[in-house]
Structure 1
Amino acid sequence: MERLAYAFLGLYIPLAIGIVYRKFSKNCYSTSRDLSRLVLYFFLPLLLFDSISRKRFEALVEDFFYMVSAATVIALISIIAALVVFRGEREMVLPSTYLNALYLPIPIAYTLWGPESLYLAGFYALVNTCLGNISAPLLLVRGGIKRGIKRLFRFPPFYAVLLGMLVSASKIQLPRALGGLIADLGRLAPYLALIVLGLQASDFRNIVDRDTRRIVIIRFVISPLSAFMLFPLWIPVYSLAFKVALIESFMPPAVSNVILANELMEKPERIANVVFKATLLSTLIIPLLIVVVGSI
Protein backbone atom coordinates (compact mmCIF):
# COMPACT_ATOMS: atom_id res chain seq x y z
CA MET A 1 0.00 0.00 0.00
CA GLU A 2 2.83 2.38 0.88
CA ARG A 3 4.50 1.63 -2.46
CA LEU A 4 1.30 2.45 -4.37
CA ALA A 5 0.87 5.69 -2.42
CA TYR A 6 4.45 6.62 -3.27
CA ALA A 7 3.76 5.85 -6.94
CA PHE A 8 0.70 8.13 -6.97
CA LEU A 9 2.55 10.99 -5.27
CA GLY A 10 5.59 10.54 -7.50
CA LEU A 11 3.35 10.81 -10.55
CA TYR A 12 0.94 13.60 -9.66
CA ILE A 13 3.08 16.05 -7.66
CA PRO A 14 5.53 16.75 -10.55
CA LEU A 15 2.56 16.81 -12.96
CA ALA A 16 0.79 19.37 -10.76
CA ILE A 17 3.95 21.49 -10.57
CA GLY A 18 3.99 21.71 -14.38
CA ILE A 19 0.27 22.57 -14.60
CA VAL A 20 0.52 25.29 -11.91
CA TYR A 21 3.65 26.77 -13.46
CA ARG A 22 1.93 26.93 -16.84
CA LYS A 23 -1.03 28.79 -15.35
CA PHE A 24 1.14 31.60 -13.98
CA SER A 25 3.94 31.72 -16.56
CA LYS A 26 3.93 33.96 -19.62
CA ASN A 27 6.66 32.05 -21.44
CA CYS A 28 5.63 28.47 -20.78
CA TYR A 29 6.29 27.18 -24.32
CA SER A 30 9.97 28.10 -24.14
CA THR A 31 10.33 26.50 -20.70
CA SER A 32 8.64 23.30 -21.88
CA ARG A 33 10.80 23.10 -25.00
CA ASP A 34 14.05 23.68 -23.10
CA LEU A 35 13.18 21.19 -20.36
CA SER A 36 12.19 18.59 -22.97
CA ARG A 37 15.57 18.93 -24.65
CA LEU A 38 17.41 18.67 -21.34
CA VAL A 39 15.54 15.46 -20.51
CA LEU A 40 15.91 13.93 -23.97
CA TYR A 41 19.54 14.85 -24.63
CA PHE A 42 21.02 14.63 -21.14
CA PHE A 43 19.13 13.24 -18.13
CA LEU A 44 17.24 10.39 -19.85
CA PRO A 45 20.30 8.95 -21.64
CA LEU A 46 22.19 8.99 -18.32
CA LEU A 47 19.30 7.19 -16.62
CA LEU A 48 19.13 4.48 -19.29
CA PHE A 49 22.90 4.03 -19.43
CA ASP A 50 23.11 3.63 -15.66
CA SER A 51 20.23 1.15 -15.56
CA ILE A 52 21.65 -1.04 -18.35
CA SER A 53 25.38 -0.92 -17.59
CA ARG A 54 24.84 -2.24 -14.05
CA LYS A 55 23.08 -5.43 -15.24
CA ARG A 56 24.75 -8.72 -16.13
CA PHE A 57 24.89 -9.05 -19.91
CA GLU A 58 23.39 -12.56 -19.81
CA ALA A 59 20.30 -11.21 -18.03
CA LEU A 60 20.11 -8.31 -20.48
CA VAL A 61 19.98 -10.64 -23.50
CA GLU A 62 16.98 -12.57 -22.15
CA ASP A 63 15.13 -9.41 -21.13
CA PHE A 64 16.00 -7.78 -24.46
CA PHE A 65 14.23 -10.63 -26.26
CA TYR A 66 11.18 -10.27 -24.01
CA MET A 67 10.84 -6.52 -24.56
CA VAL A 68 11.63 -6.54 -28.28
CA SER A 69 9.08 -9.27 -28.95
CA ALA A 70 6.47 -7.57 -26.74
CA ALA A 71 6.95 -4.21 -28.49
CA THR A 72 6.76 -5.83 -31.93
CA VAL A 73 3.57 -7.77 -31.13
CA ILE A 74 1.79 -4.70 -29.71
CA ALA A 75 2.90 -2.57 -32.67
CA LEU A 76 1.48 -5.07 -35.17
CA ILE A 77 -1.82 -5.34 -33.27
CA SER A 78 -2.06 -1.54 -33.04
CA ILE A 79 -1.40 -1.13 -36.77
CA ILE A 80 -4.15 -3.60 -37.68
CA ALA A 81 -6.57 -2.02 -35.19
CA ALA A 82 -5.83 1.49 -36.50
CA LEU A 83 -6.40 0.49 -40.12
CA VAL A 84 -9.77 -0.99 -39.14
CA VAL A 85 -10.91 1.75 -36.71
CA PHE A 86 -9.77 4.65 -38.92
CA ARG A 87 -10.88 2.87 -42.10
CA GLY A 88 -7.53 2.94 -43.85
CA GLU A 89 -6.49 6.52 -42.96
CA ARG A 90 -2.73 6.00 -42.93
CA GLU A 91 -1.84 9.21 -41.09
CA MET A 92 -3.68 8.02 -37.96
CA VAL A 93 -1.80 4.71 -37.87
CA LEU A 94 1.30 6.49 -36.57
CA PRO A 95 -0.17 7.96 -33.32
CA SER A 96 -1.99 4.66 -32.78
CA THR A 97 1.30 2.75 -32.88
CA TYR A 98 4.17 5.09 -31.95
CA LEU A 99 3.59 5.38 -28.21
CA ASN A 100 5.06 7.23 -25.25
CA ALA A 101 7.51 4.50 -24.29
CA LEU A 102 9.81 6.56 -22.05
CA TYR A 103 8.42 9.79 -20.58
CA LEU A 104 5.43 8.18 -18.82
CA PRO A 105 6.45 4.52 -18.26
CA ILE A 106 9.79 5.41 -16.67
CA PRO A 107 8.32 7.48 -13.79
CA ILE A 108 5.74 4.74 -13.14
CA ALA A 109 8.30 1.91 -13.22
CA TYR A 110 10.75 3.95 -11.15
CA THR A 111 8.28 4.62 -8.35
CA LEU A 112 6.96 1.03 -8.30
CA TRP A 113 10.16 -1.01 -8.70
CA GLY A 114 13.11 1.40 -8.58
CA PRO A 115 15.99 1.91 -11.04
CA GLU A 116 16.39 -1.84 -11.64
CA SER A 117 13.31 -1.80 -13.90
CA LEU A 118 14.25 1.13 -16.12
CA TYR A 119 16.44 -0.66 -18.66
CA LEU A 120 13.37 -2.71 -19.65
CA ALA A 121 11.53 0.45 -20.67
CA GLY A 122 14.66 1.45 -22.59
CA PHE A 123 14.60 -1.80 -24.58
CA TYR A 124 10.90 -1.41 -25.36
CA ALA A 125 11.42 2.21 -26.40
CA LEU A 126 14.31 1.23 -28.66
CA VAL A 127 12.01 -0.94 -30.78
CA ASN A 128 9.13 1.52 -30.63
CA THR A 129 11.34 4.45 -31.68
CA CYS A 130 12.82 2.48 -34.58
CA LEU A 131 9.35 1.55 -35.86
CA GLY A 132 7.98 5.07 -35.36
CA ASN A 133 10.77 6.95 -37.09
CA ILE A 134 11.12 4.52 -39.98
CA SER A 135 7.38 4.15 -40.66
CA ALA A 136 6.52 7.86 -40.26
CA PRO A 137 7.71 8.94 -43.74
CA LEU A 138 5.75 6.07 -45.30
CA LEU A 139 2.56 6.83 -43.34
CA LEU A 140 2.66 10.63 -43.47
CA VAL A 141 3.31 10.82 -47.21
CA ARG A 142 5.92 13.56 -47.60
CA GLY A 143 9.60 12.63 -47.30
CA GLY A 144 11.23 9.19 -47.46
CA ILE A 145 12.43 6.38 -45.29
CA LYS A 146 15.93 7.91 -45.16
CA ARG A 147 14.57 10.81 -43.16
CA GLY A 148 13.13 8.43 -40.59
CA ILE A 149 16.44 6.58 -40.24
CA LYS A 150 18.31 9.88 -39.84
CA ARG A 151 15.92 10.89 -37.06
CA LEU A 152 16.56 7.59 -35.30
CA PHE A 153 20.32 8.17 -35.32
CA ARG A 154 19.78 11.62 -33.79
CA PHE A 155 17.89 10.08 -30.84
CA PRO A 156 20.26 10.16 -27.80
CA PRO A 157 18.54 7.36 -25.80
CA PHE A 158 19.34 5.04 -28.73
CA TYR A 159 23.06 5.51 -28.07
CA ALA A 160 22.61 5.29 -24.29
CA VAL A 161 21.06 1.82 -24.67
CA LEU A 162 23.80 0.62 -27.03
CA LEU A 163 26.62 2.04 -24.87
CA GLY A 164 25.11 0.57 -21.72
CA MET A 165 24.94 -2.89 -23.32
CA LEU A 166 28.55 -2.54 -24.52
CA VAL A 167 29.75 -1.67 -20.99
CA SER A 168 27.76 -4.58 -19.56
CA ALA A 169 29.07 -7.05 -22.16
CA SER A 170 32.70 -5.98 -21.69
CA LYS A 171 32.31 -5.98 -17.87
CA ILE A 172 33.88 -2.53 -17.60
CA GLN A 173 33.76 -1.14 -14.07
CA LEU A 174 33.21 2.62 -13.97
CA PRO A 175 34.92 4.58 -11.17
CA ARG A 176 32.57 4.72 -8.19
CA ALA A 177 32.45 8.52 -8.16
CA LEU A 178 31.57 8.67 -11.88
CA GLY A 179 28.97 5.91 -11.63
CA GLY A 180 27.35 7.58 -8.64
CA LEU A 181 27.20 10.94 -10.40
CA ILE A 182 25.61 9.40 -13.51
CA ALA A 183 23.01 7.65 -11.35
CA ASP A 184 22.18 10.80 -9.36
CA LEU A 185 21.74 12.95 -12.47
CA GLY A 186 19.74 10.27 -14.27
CA ARG A 187 17.23 10.06 -11.42
CA LEU A 188 16.06 13.58 -12.27
CA ALA A 189 14.69 12.42 -15.65
CA PRO A 190 11.36 10.85 -14.54
CA TYR A 191 10.28 13.87 -12.51
CA LEU A 192 11.37 16.43 -15.10
CA ALA A 193 9.50 14.47 -17.78
CA LEU A 194 6.29 14.68 -15.74
CA ILE A 195 6.77 18.42 -15.18
CA VAL A 196 7.12 18.84 -18.96
CA LEU A 197 3.87 16.94 -19.46
CA GLY A 198 2.16 19.28 -16.99
CA LEU A 199 3.55 22.30 -18.84
CA GLN A 200 1.97 21.03 -22.06
CA ALA A 201 -1.55 20.79 -20.57
CA SER A 202 -3.58 23.65 -22.03
CA ASP A 203 -7.22 23.16 -23.00
CA PHE A 204 -9.35 20.62 -21.12
CA ARG A 205 -12.54 21.39 -23.08
CA ASN A 206 -13.99 19.00 -25.69
CA ILE A 207 -11.33 16.51 -24.73
CA VAL A 208 -13.04 13.39 -26.15
CA ASP A 209 -13.64 14.10 -29.83
CA ARG A 210 -14.09 11.46 -32.54
CA ASP A 211 -10.39 10.91 -33.31
CA THR A 212 -9.47 10.82 -29.62
CA ARG A 213 -12.15 8.23 -28.87
CA ARG A 214 -10.73 5.96 -31.54
CA ILE A 215 -7.17 6.38 -30.30
CA VAL A 216 -8.33 5.70 -26.74
CA ILE A 217 -9.98 2.44 -27.84
CA ILE A 218 -6.76 1.30 -29.52
CA ARG A 219 -4.27 2.46 -26.89
CA PHE A 220 -6.22 1.87 -23.66
CA VAL A 221 -8.44 -1.10 -24.56
CA ILE A 222 -7.23 -3.19 -27.51
CA SER A 223 -3.51 -2.87 -26.80
CA PRO A 224 -3.50 -3.72 -23.04
CA LEU A 225 -6.06 -6.51 -23.40
CA SER A 226 -3.95 -8.08 -26.14
CA ALA A 227 -0.85 -7.72 -23.98
CA PHE A 228 -2.53 -9.30 -20.95
CA MET A 229 -3.66 -12.30 -23.00
CA LEU A 230 -0.57 -12.81 -25.17
CA PHE A 231 2.50 -11.83 -23.13
CA PRO A 232 2.17 -14.75 -20.63
CA LEU A 233 2.70 -17.14 -23.55
CA TRP A 234 6.45 -16.37 -23.48
CA ILE A 235 7.14 -13.85 -20.67
CA PRO A 236 7.06 -15.09 -17.03
CA VAL A 237 4.00 -13.45 -15.46
CA TYR A 238 5.65 -12.37 -12.19
CA SER A 239 8.82 -11.04 -13.84
CA LEU A 240 9.68 -7.35 -14.08
CA ALA A 241 9.76 -7.74 -17.87
CA PHE A 242 6.08 -8.73 -17.91
CA LYS A 243 5.05 -5.87 -15.62
CA VAL A 244 6.96 -3.20 -17.55
CA ALA A 245 5.72 -4.55 -20.90
CA LEU A 246 2.15 -4.41 -19.56
CA ILE A 247 2.64 -0.77 -18.52
CA GLU A 248 4.01 0.05 -21.98
CA SER A 249 0.93 -1.44 -23.64
CA PHE A 250 -1.27 1.16 -21.87
CA MET A 251 0.71 4.19 -23.00
CA PRO A 252 -0.73 7.09 -25.07
CA PRO A 253 0.82 8.32 -28.35
CA ALA A 254 4.33 9.75 -28.12
CA VAL A 255 4.78 13.52 -28.24
CA SER A 256 7.32 12.81 -31.01
CA ASN A 257 4.35 12.10 -33.28
CA VAL A 258 3.74 15.86 -33.33
CA ILE A 259 7.36 16.60 -34.26
CA LEU A 260 7.23 14.05 -37.08
CA ALA A 261 3.89 15.38 -38.32
CA ASN A 262 5.26 18.94 -38.38
CA GLU A 263 8.16 17.79 -40.54
CA LEU A 264 6.30 15.48 -42.90
CA MET A 265 2.76 16.87 -43.26
CA GLU A 266 1.25 20.07 -44.60
CA LYS A 267 -1.52 19.99 -41.95
CA PRO A 268 -0.22 18.34 -38.76
CA GLU A 269 -2.95 19.77 -36.50
CA ARG A 270 -5.03 16.57 -36.48
CA ILE A 271 -2.21 14.46 -35.07
CA ALA A 272 -1.15 17.17 -32.59
CA ASN A 273 -4.72 17.40 -31.28
CA VAL A 274 -5.14 13.66 -30.73
CA VAL A 275 -1.72 13.23 -29.10
CA PHE A 276 -2.37 16.01 -26.60
CA LYS A 277 -5.87 14.85 -25.65
CA ALA A 278 -4.96 11.16 -25.39
CA THR A 279 -2.03 12.07 -23.14
CA LEU A 280 -4.30 14.06 -20.82
CA LEU A 281 -6.79 11.19 -20.66
CA SER A 282 -3.98 8.78 -19.84
CA THR A 283 -3.27 10.67 -16.60
CA LEU A 284 -6.79 9.73 -15.49
CA ILE A 285 -6.32 6.06 -16.39
CA ILE A 286 -2.82 5.65 -14.95
CA PRO A 287 -3.97 5.37 -11.29
CA LEU A 288 -5.94 2.23 -12.19
CA LEU A 289 -2.91 0.93 -14.09
CA ILE A 290 -0.66 1.49 -11.07
CA VAL A 291 -3.07 -0.41 -8.79
CA VAL A 292 -3.43 -3.34 -11.22
CA VAL A 293 0.25 -3.74 -12.12
CA GLY A 294 1.46 -2.91 -8.62
CA SER A 295 -0.60 -5.78 -7.21
CA ILE A 296 0.87 -8.43 -9.54
Structure 2
Amino acid sequence: MVLLPDLARSWTGGRRVERVAYAVGAVLLLAGVVHFGVFLVDGGPWEGPVSWRKPTTFGLSFGLTLITVTWVSARVRMGDRARRTAVGLLTAASVVEVALISAQAWRRVPSHFNSTSGADRAISLTLAAGGAAIVVSAAVLLVAAFRKDAVDAPDMRLAVRAGLVLFVVALAVGAAMIARGTIAVRSGDPGHTTAGVLKLAHAVAMHAILVLPALSWLLAFTRWTPLARLRVVQLALVGHLVLTVVVGVESAVGVNPLEAPAVADVGAGLGLFLLGVAVLLACYGVRRFPRRDI
Protein backbone atom coordinates (compact mmCIF):
# COMPACT_ATOMS: atom_id res chain seq x y z
CA MET A 1 0.00 0.00 0.00
CA VAL A 2 1.55 3.26 -1.17
CA LEU A 3 -0.77 5.56 0.77
CA LEU A 4 1.11 5.49 4.06
CA PRO A 5 4.59 6.01 2.54
CA ASP A 6 3.20 8.99 0.64
CA LEU A 7 1.88 10.50 3.87
CA ALA A 8 5.20 9.79 5.57
CA ARG A 9 6.94 11.83 2.89
CA SER A 10 4.94 14.84 4.05
CA TRP A 11 7.08 14.66 7.18
CA THR A 12 10.42 13.50 5.80
CA GLY A 13 10.27 15.84 2.82
CA GLY A 14 8.48 18.67 4.57
CA ARG A 15 9.89 22.11 5.20
CA ARG A 16 10.94 22.99 8.73
CA VAL A 17 7.87 25.14 9.41
CA GLU A 18 5.66 22.28 8.20
CA ARG A 19 7.34 19.67 10.38
CA VAL A 20 6.97 21.96 13.39
CA ALA A 21 3.27 22.39 12.59
CA TYR A 22 2.77 18.63 12.24
CA ALA A 23 4.48 18.01 15.58
CA VAL A 24 2.49 20.73 17.33
CA GLY A 25 -0.72 19.40 15.80
CA ALA A 26 0.04 15.94 17.17
CA VAL A 27 0.60 17.42 20.64
CA LEU A 28 -2.72 19.28 20.45
CA LEU A 29 -4.51 16.08 19.44
CA LEU A 30 -2.91 14.33 22.40
CA ALA A 31 -4.04 17.17 24.68
CA GLY A 32 -7.60 16.67 23.48
CA VAL A 33 -7.43 12.94 24.18
CA VAL A 34 -5.93 13.54 27.63
CA HIS A 35 -8.69 15.97 28.54
CA PHE A 36 -11.30 13.47 27.43
CA GLY A 37 -9.66 11.01 29.80
CA VAL A 38 -9.87 13.61 32.56
CA PHE A 39 -13.58 13.99 31.81
CA LEU A 40 -14.10 10.23 32.11
CA VAL A 41 -12.35 10.19 35.48
CA ASP A 42 -13.52 13.49 36.92
CA GLY A 43 -17.03 13.51 35.49
CA GLY A 44 -19.11 16.65 35.48
CA PRO A 45 -21.26 18.12 32.71
CA TRP A 46 -20.25 17.72 29.07
CA GLU A 47 -22.10 20.83 27.90
CA GLY A 48 -21.98 24.31 29.36
CA PRO A 49 -19.38 27.08 29.65
CA VAL A 50 -17.32 25.21 32.24
CA SER A 51 -16.68 21.60 31.28
CA TRP A 52 -13.97 19.27 30.01
CA ARG A 53 -15.69 19.31 26.62
CA LYS A 54 -14.01 22.54 25.57
CA PRO A 55 -10.35 21.51 26.04
CA THR A 56 -11.21 18.13 24.55
CA THR A 57 -12.93 19.37 21.41
CA PHE A 58 -10.65 22.37 20.92
CA GLY A 59 -7.54 20.21 21.27
CA LEU A 60 -8.82 17.66 18.78
CA SER A 61 -10.21 20.25 16.37
CA PHE A 62 -7.20 22.57 16.39
CA GLY A 63 -4.78 19.67 16.16
CA LEU A 64 -6.59 18.16 13.19
CA THR A 65 -7.06 21.53 11.50
CA LEU A 66 -3.41 22.53 11.93
CA ILE A 67 -2.15 19.26 10.48
CA THR A 68 -4.67 19.39 7.63
CA VAL A 69 -4.10 23.01 6.62
CA THR A 70 -0.33 22.52 6.76
CA TRP A 71 -0.60 19.41 4.58
CA VAL A 72 -2.83 21.27 2.12
CA SER A 73 -0.56 24.32 2.03
CA ALA A 74 2.36 22.10 1.00
CA ARG A 75 0.49 21.44 -2.25
CA VAL A 76 0.20 25.15 -3.06
CA ARG A 77 2.99 27.02 -4.80
CA MET A 78 3.84 30.14 -2.83
CA GLY A 79 6.84 32.08 -1.64
CA ASP A 80 8.79 30.90 1.39
CA ARG A 81 7.92 34.03 3.37
CA ALA A 82 4.20 33.66 2.68
CA ARG A 83 4.33 29.99 3.64
CA ARG A 84 6.17 30.69 6.89
CA THR A 85 3.70 33.45 7.70
CA ALA A 86 0.60 31.37 7.02
CA VAL A 87 1.73 28.15 8.70
CA GLY A 88 3.60 29.91 11.50
CA LEU A 89 0.65 32.12 12.44
CA LEU A 90 -1.74 29.18 12.42
CA THR A 91 0.63 27.10 14.55
CA ALA A 92 1.15 29.84 17.13
CA ALA A 93 -2.54 30.72 17.29
CA SER A 94 -3.52 27.06 17.70
CA VAL A 95 -1.17 26.66 20.65
CA VAL A 96 -2.43 29.84 22.31
CA GLU A 97 -6.10 28.97 21.82
CA VAL A 98 -5.86 25.42 23.15
CA ALA A 99 -3.53 26.38 26.02
CA LEU A 100 -5.74 29.20 27.29
CA ILE A 101 -8.99 27.27 26.90
CA SER A 102 -7.42 24.34 28.76
CA ALA A 103 -6.12 26.65 31.50
CA GLN A 104 -9.59 28.10 32.03
CA ALA A 105 -11.08 24.62 32.21
CA TRP A 106 -8.62 23.69 34.96
CA ARG A 107 -9.44 26.94 36.74
CA ARG A 108 -13.14 25.98 36.49
CA VAL A 109 -14.12 29.26 34.84
CA PRO A 110 -15.53 30.04 31.37
CA SER A 111 -12.97 30.66 28.64
CA HIS A 112 -15.21 32.86 26.49
CA PHE A 113 -17.44 35.81 27.35
CA ASN A 114 -15.79 36.04 30.75
CA SER A 115 -14.75 39.41 32.16
CA THR A 116 -15.02 38.50 35.82
CA SER A 117 -11.41 39.43 36.58
CA GLY A 118 -8.52 41.15 34.90
CA ALA A 119 -6.95 37.80 34.06
CA ASP A 120 -10.18 36.52 32.53
CA ARG A 121 -10.55 39.66 30.42
CA ALA A 122 -6.95 39.34 29.23
CA ILE A 123 -7.53 35.71 28.26
CA SER A 124 -10.70 36.58 26.35
CA LEU A 125 -8.86 39.31 24.45
CA THR A 126 -5.95 36.97 23.70
CA LEU A 127 -8.34 34.34 22.36
CA ALA A 128 -9.84 36.98 20.08
CA ALA A 129 -6.35 37.97 18.90
CA GLY A 130 -5.63 34.31 18.17
CA GLY A 131 -8.73 34.16 16.03
CA ALA A 132 -7.56 37.23 14.12
CA ALA A 133 -4.19 35.57 13.48
CA ILE A 134 -5.96 32.52 12.04
CA VAL A 135 -7.93 34.79 9.71
CA VAL A 136 -4.69 36.36 8.44
CA SER A 137 -3.19 32.90 7.92
CA ALA A 138 -6.24 31.75 5.97
CA ALA A 139 -6.21 34.91 3.85
CA VAL A 140 -2.57 34.37 2.86
CA LEU A 141 -3.29 30.78 1.84
CA LEU A 142 -6.45 31.73 -0.02
CA VAL A 143 -4.71 34.39 -2.09
CA ALA A 144 -1.87 31.99 -2.92
CA ALA A 145 -4.24 29.17 -3.89
CA PHE A 146 -6.13 31.34 -6.38
CA ARG A 147 -3.01 32.38 -8.26
CA LYS A 148 -2.51 30.88 -11.69
CA ASP A 149 -0.83 27.46 -11.64
CA ALA A 150 -0.77 27.42 -7.83
CA VAL A 151 -1.82 23.76 -7.90
CA ASP A 152 -1.16 21.44 -10.85
CA ALA A 153 -3.89 18.78 -10.84
CA PRO A 154 -7.36 20.19 -11.67
CA ASP A 155 -9.11 18.09 -9.02
CA MET A 156 -6.66 19.07 -6.28
CA ARG A 157 -6.84 22.70 -7.41
CA LEU A 158 -10.61 22.68 -6.97
CA ALA A 159 -10.38 20.81 -3.67
CA VAL A 160 -7.83 23.21 -2.19
CA ARG A 161 -9.59 26.36 -3.36
CA ALA A 162 -13.06 25.23 -2.30
CA GLY A 163 -11.74 23.89 1.00
CA LEU A 164 -10.02 27.18 1.80
CA VAL A 165 -13.09 29.21 0.84
CA LEU A 166 -15.23 27.12 3.18
CA PHE A 167 -12.51 27.41 5.83
CA VAL A 168 -12.85 31.19 5.61
CA VAL A 169 -16.64 30.81 5.80
CA ALA A 170 -16.17 28.76 8.98
CA LEU A 171 -13.99 31.52 10.43
CA ALA A 172 -16.69 34.05 9.59
CA VAL A 173 -19.25 31.89 11.38
CA GLY A 174 -16.88 31.73 14.34
CA ALA A 175 -16.64 35.52 14.37
CA ALA A 176 -20.44 35.69 14.28
CA MET A 177 -20.57 33.33 17.26
CA ILE A 178 -18.29 35.62 19.25
CA ALA A 179 -20.25 38.71 18.23
CA ARG A 180 -23.60 37.16 19.16
CA GLY A 181 -22.25 35.91 22.46
CA THR A 182 -20.77 39.29 23.33
CA ILE A 183 -24.04 41.06 22.58
CA ALA A 184 -25.93 38.51 24.65
CA VAL A 185 -23.62 38.98 27.64
CA ARG A 186 -24.08 42.74 27.50
CA SER A 187 -27.83 42.15 27.50
CA GLY A 188 -27.59 39.96 30.57
CA ASP A 189 -28.00 36.61 28.80
CA PRO A 190 -25.49 33.71 28.91
CA GLY A 191 -23.21 34.22 25.92
CA HIS A 192 -22.33 30.58 25.43
CA THR A 193 -25.98 29.63 24.85
CA THR A 194 -26.53 32.27 22.18
CA ALA A 195 -23.23 31.65 20.40
CA GLY A 196 -23.48 27.88 20.65
CA VAL A 197 -26.33 27.57 18.15
CA LEU A 198 -23.82 28.18 15.35
CA LYS A 199 -21.36 25.48 16.43
CA LEU A 200 -22.51 22.84 13.96
CA ALA A 201 -22.42 25.22 10.99
CA HIS A 202 -18.93 26.28 12.04
CA ALA A 203 -17.75 22.67 12.24
CA VAL A 204 -19.25 21.50 8.94
CA ALA A 205 -17.74 24.36 6.95
CA MET A 206 -14.41 24.05 8.79
CA HIS A 207 -13.71 20.47 7.82
CA ALA A 208 -14.18 20.84 4.07
CA ILE A 209 -10.47 21.68 4.04
CA LEU A 210 -9.86 18.12 5.20
CA VAL A 211 -12.50 16.21 3.24
CA LEU A 212 -12.03 17.64 -0.26
CA PRO A 213 -8.21 17.63 -0.54
CA ALA A 214 -8.04 14.20 1.12
CA LEU A 215 -10.46 12.87 -1.48
CA SER A 216 -8.39 14.38 -4.30
CA TRP A 217 -5.23 12.89 -2.80
CA LEU A 218 -6.87 9.47 -2.71
CA LEU A 219 -7.96 9.79 -6.34
CA ALA A 220 -4.35 10.46 -7.34
CA PHE A 221 -3.66 6.78 -6.67
CA THR A 222 -6.07 5.68 -9.41
CA ARG A 223 -5.52 5.38 -13.16
CA TRP A 224 -8.55 7.53 -13.84
CA THR A 225 -8.21 10.50 -16.15
CA PRO A 226 -7.86 14.02 -14.71
CA LEU A 227 -11.40 14.76 -15.88
CA ALA A 228 -12.82 11.71 -14.10
CA ARG A 229 -11.04 12.66 -10.88
CA LEU A 230 -12.30 16.22 -11.20
CA ARG A 231 -15.89 14.99 -11.56
CA VAL A 232 -15.63 12.99 -8.33
CA VAL A 233 -14.31 16.01 -6.43
CA GLN A 234 -17.06 18.16 -7.93
CA LEU A 235 -19.62 15.63 -6.71
CA ALA A 236 -18.17 15.80 -3.20
CA LEU A 237 -18.08 19.59 -3.31
CA VAL A 238 -21.77 19.77 -4.24
CA GLY A 239 -22.58 17.43 -1.38
CA HIS A 240 -20.54 19.45 1.10
CA LEU A 241 -22.08 22.72 -0.09
CA VAL A 242 -25.60 21.34 0.27
CA LEU A 243 -24.84 20.08 3.76
CA THR A 244 -23.19 23.37 4.74
CA VAL A 245 -26.12 25.44 3.51
CA VAL A 246 -28.72 23.26 5.24
CA VAL A 247 -26.86 23.22 8.55
CA GLY A 248 -26.10 26.93 8.24
CA VAL A 249 -29.76 27.83 7.75
CA GLU A 250 -30.79 25.59 10.64
CA SER A 251 -28.20 27.23 12.88
CA ALA A 252 -29.15 30.75 11.80
CA VAL A 253 -32.82 30.24 12.65
CA GLY A 254 -32.09 28.24 15.80
CA VAL A 255 -33.50 24.90 14.66
CA ASN A 256 -32.18 21.74 16.29
CA PRO A 257 -31.06 19.38 13.47
CA LEU A 258 -32.78 16.52 15.29
CA GLU A 259 -36.04 18.46 15.21
CA ALA A 260 -35.68 20.03 11.76
CA PRO A 261 -38.51 19.95 9.19
CA ALA A 262 -38.56 17.19 6.59
CA VAL A 263 -37.21 19.39 3.81
CA ALA A 264 -34.10 20.13 5.87
CA ASP A 265 -33.62 16.44 6.63
CA VAL A 266 -33.88 15.65 2.92
CA GLY A 267 -31.34 18.35 2.09
CA ALA A 268 -28.87 17.18 4.72
CA GLY A 269 -29.39 13.58 3.65
CA LEU A 270 -28.73 14.49 0.03
CA GLY A 271 -25.52 16.26 0.95
CA LEU A 272 -24.28 13.31 3.00
CA PHE A 273 -25.31 10.90 0.23
CA LEU A 274 -23.32 12.78 -2.42
CA LEU A 275 -20.29 12.95 -0.14
CA GLY A 276 -20.58 9.25 0.59
CA VAL A 277 -20.85 8.35 -3.10
CA ALA A 278 -17.75 10.41 -3.89
CA VAL A 279 -15.74 8.68 -1.15
CA LEU A 280 -16.93 5.25 -2.27
CA LEU A 281 -16.00 6.03 -5.86
CA ALA A 282 -12.50 7.05 -4.79
CA CYS A 283 -12.06 3.89 -2.73
CA TYR A 284 -13.36 1.81 -5.63
CA GLY A 285 -10.93 3.48 -8.01
CA VAL A 286 -7.95 2.85 -5.74
CA ARG A 287 -9.00 -0.77 -5.30
CA ARG A 288 -9.87 -1.67 -8.89
CA PHE A 289 -7.81 0.78 -10.95
CA PRO A 290 -4.62 1.46 -8.97
CA ARG A 291 -1.77 3.31 -10.59
CA ARG A 292 1.04 1.06 -11.80
CA ASP A 293 3.79 3.67 -11.82
CA ILE A 294 4.05 4.11 -8.04
Q: Same fold (TM over 0.5)?
A: no
Higher relative contact order (CA 8 A, sep 6+): 1
Q: TM-score, normalised by structure 2?
A: 0.29
Larger-Rg structure: 2
